[in-house]
Amino acid sequence: MELRQQTYQKLRDFIHELTGIVFSDNKKYLLENRLRSRIQELGLQSFEEYYQYLQRSSLNARTEINKLFDAITINETYFFRNEAQFNALRTVILPEILQRKKLQGTVRIWSAGCSTGEEPYTIAMIVREHFLRRFPRVRFEILANDISPSVLEKAKRGEYRTYAIRSLPKEYLDKYFTRTPNGTYVIKDEIRQMVKFFQMNLKDEQQMRRMHNIDVIFCANVLIYFSPEVKEQIVNNFYRALKPGGFLFIGYSESLIGMNTKFRMRQLPRTVVYYKPEE
C-alpha cells in the first residue's frame, strides 16, 4: 500500500487545518509509516479511503481523529528536561508572582502540550517541595493539556521507565515515586493529585478561549511542529490567557523572534522567559 502524492497533499492539509502540525515535502514516508497500521486496523484498502473516512461526521470518524492525533504526534519528554527553566521558576518566577499576590490567592500554571506528564509533574514536585507548606494561603493549580488521548492516559497513570527519570534529582525520585517490582517508577498520589490533565487542541480557538487568568505557561518543544501562522495564533492566545505580568516559557530551540506579538523577553540565569507587561 503506497501513499500517493495527491493523497499525501490532502492528508497533510487536513492535519494542518485540524492541528497546526506541518508535514513537509520530505515527511511523506513518516506519515505513511505512522498511518499504515490505522488503515489496516480499520480494514481499509488505501490511504485515499482513510482520508475519506476521516471526512465523515460519524462517531467512528471522530474516534478515528483521536487515533490520528496519537499517530502523528511526537511525544518525547522527560522529567526536569529543561533544568534552567525549572530553576528559574523556583528561584525567580514563583517568588515574584507570590510577592505580587501578597502571598495569597491562586497561582495557575499551565503545561501546554504536556505529553506523558513529566513536565507538569516536575512543576508539581517543585511546588510541593518549595512552596506548598511555606505559603498556606496560596492555592497552586497546575493544568496540563495535550491533543493526544493516549499520552494523557499515560500521564494520569503516572508510571515511568528509566528513560523518563534520567535527569530527575535522586531526592525527588526517592521522595515522590514508588518503585514497582518490574522496575518502573510510579508517581505518588500527593503529586498526581496536584495536576489536572485534559484533552485540548492548541489550534482550536474556541477551546483556547476558555483558558484565562494564567500566571505561567510552559509550552516547550511544541511550537516547532506548527506552521508560522499557527504558531503566531497560539502564542497570541497564550498572551490573552495570561494575567498581566504573566510568563511564558518555550523550548530551547524555539523563539518568538519575527513574530507579531506583544510578548517581551527577559534574561534569566541560563535561560530566557517571555512575559506580558503589566498594565
Q: Mark residue 135 as left, alpha or beta (left: phi above 0; alpha: psi -120 to 50; beta: remaining).
A: beta
81, 146, 192, 215: the active-site residue = 146
By beta-carbon proximity to ligand SAM, the closer residue of 137 and 210 is: 210
Q: Rounded distance, CA 132 to CA 142, Å?
A: 13
Q: How many residues bind ligand SAM (CB under 6 A)?
A: 24
Report if residue 77 touches ligand SAM, rule: CB under 6 A. Answer: yes
Least separation in angstroms between CB 18 and ligand SAM: 8
Q: Rounded distance, CA 261 to CA 247, Å?
A: 14
Annotated catalytic, 215?
A: no
Q: How far apart are the first and last CA of the chain?
A: 58
φ, ψ for residue 88 (rounded to 5)? Answer: -65, -35
With CA atoms as reference, report the closest residue to 15 among 77, 70, 60.
70
Q: Mark residue 117 as left, alpha or beta (left: phi above 0; alpha: psi -120 to 50; beta: remaining).
A: left
Q: For cell 493516549, name the residue.
A: 150
Three cell numbers written together for 69: 492525533
Three cell numbers written together for 275: 512575559
By beta-carbon proximity to ligand SAM, the closer residue of 7 and 148 is: 148
HSE (side-chain half, CA atoms, 13 Å) at 212: 4
By beta-carbon proximity to ligand SAM, the closer residue of 20 and 158 is: 20
Q: State which of positions 111-170 bind ligand SAM (CB under 6 A).
A: 113-115, 119, 146-148, 151
Annotated catalytic, 13?
A: no
Report if residue 46 touches ligand SAM, rule: CB under 6 A. Answer: no
Residue choice 51, 53, 135, 225 for contact with ligand SAM (CB under 6 A): 225
Kindly indicate which of the ranges 8-16, 110-118, 154-162, 179-187 contains the residues binding ligand SAM, using the contact rule CB under 6 A: 110-118
Kindly indicate which of the ranges 26-34, 43-51, 75-83, 255-263 contains the residues binding ligand SAM, using the contact rule CB under 6 A: 75-83
177 strand-pairing partners: 187
Least separation in angstroms between CB 229 and ligand SAM: 13
Q: For cell 508535514, name the residue.
A: 23
Distance of CA 201 to CAs 81, 159, 164, 209, Å? 23, 24, 24, 11
34, 36, 90, 266: the active-site residue = 34
By beta-carbon proximity to ligand SAM, the closer residue of 221 and 271 is: 221
Report if residue 19 touches ligand SAM, rule: CB under 6 A. Answer: yes
Residue choice 7, 11, 15, 20 for contact with ligand SAM (CB under 6 A): 20
Q: For cell 485515499, name the residue.
A: 48
Residue choice 30, 74, 259, 265 for contact with ligand SAM (CB under 6 A): 74
Q: Which residues are catalytic?
A: 34, 146
Could you list the residues that contact ligand SAM (CB under 6 A)? 19-21, 73-77, 81, 113-115, 119, 146-148, 151, 201-203, 220-222, 225
